[in-house]
């Protein structure tokens, strides 16, 4: 293996693992590995179109991870205020990562529902939906990262 291939492999592996961890830019690392390989091989077999596809997948997975809690809050019957509370909680939770990234959106959704004079049980249900949405967002993020790596390996292997 050349130095470039080793670097790309390390970026892909760290990116795949990082997709499951908070504050580790998983899919951008995978994309960076693909770009480095493409440049090193004069964009053969990974060309601009394939890099654009990987970039689109990276953006999609980041959105799924970031908005999973918001989607979960709405899916559990939460109001727009709960969705905004989950999003605000995510932003505030960044300051206390990694735990804050889980607690912040849930607390934000619950507090937002309580501010609408909803009962505690209903507000907690929305909070649980937010938590489930967060977890599903992470699962989706990891799945998309795995697809990105699989596509890259397939393209390189096929030549």
Question: Can you give the pLDDT at residue 97?
Answer: 86
pLDDT in tens, 22-64: 888 999 999 999 999 999 999 999 999 999 999 999 999 999 9
pLDDT in tens, 86-127: 999 999 999 998 899 999 999 999 999 999 988 999 999 999
Closest CA to 116 of 80, 86, 88, 89: 80
- Domains of the chain, residue spans: 3-158
Q: Which of 4-13, 72-81, 141-150 has the lowest mean pLDDT?
A: 72-81
* Location of structure tokens 């937010």: 130
- Count other Cβ atoms within 10 Å, centred on residue 118: 20
Question: Can you give the pLDDT at residue 66?
Answer: 85
Question: What gap in Å lies between CA 41 and CA 103, rounded to an integer?
Answer: 44
Question: Can you give the pLDDT at residue 159?
Answer: 80
CB-side exposure of 13: number of CA atoms within 13 Å?
6
| Residue 156: pLDDT over 90 | yes
């Amino acid at each position: 293996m050349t130095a470039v291939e080793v670097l790309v492999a390390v970026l892909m592996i760290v990116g795949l693992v990082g997709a499951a961890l908070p504050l580790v830019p998983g899919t951008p690392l995978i994309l960076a590995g693909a770009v480095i390989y493409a440049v090193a091989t004069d964009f053969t077999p990974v060309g601009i179109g394939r890099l654009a596809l990987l970039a689109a997948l990276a953006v999609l997975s980041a959105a799924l991870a970031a908005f999973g809690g918001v989607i979960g809050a709405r899916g559990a019957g939460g109001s727009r205020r709960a969705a905004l509370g989950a999003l605000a909680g995510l932003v505030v939770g960044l300051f206390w990562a990694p735990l804050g990234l889980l607690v912040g959106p849930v607390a934000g959704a619950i507090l937002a529902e309580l501010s609408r004079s909803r009962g505690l049980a209903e507000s907690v249900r929305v909070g649980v939906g937010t938590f489930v949405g967060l977890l599903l967002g992470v699962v989706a993020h990891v799945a998309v990262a795995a697809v990105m790596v699989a596509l890259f390996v397939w393209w390189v292997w096929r030549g």
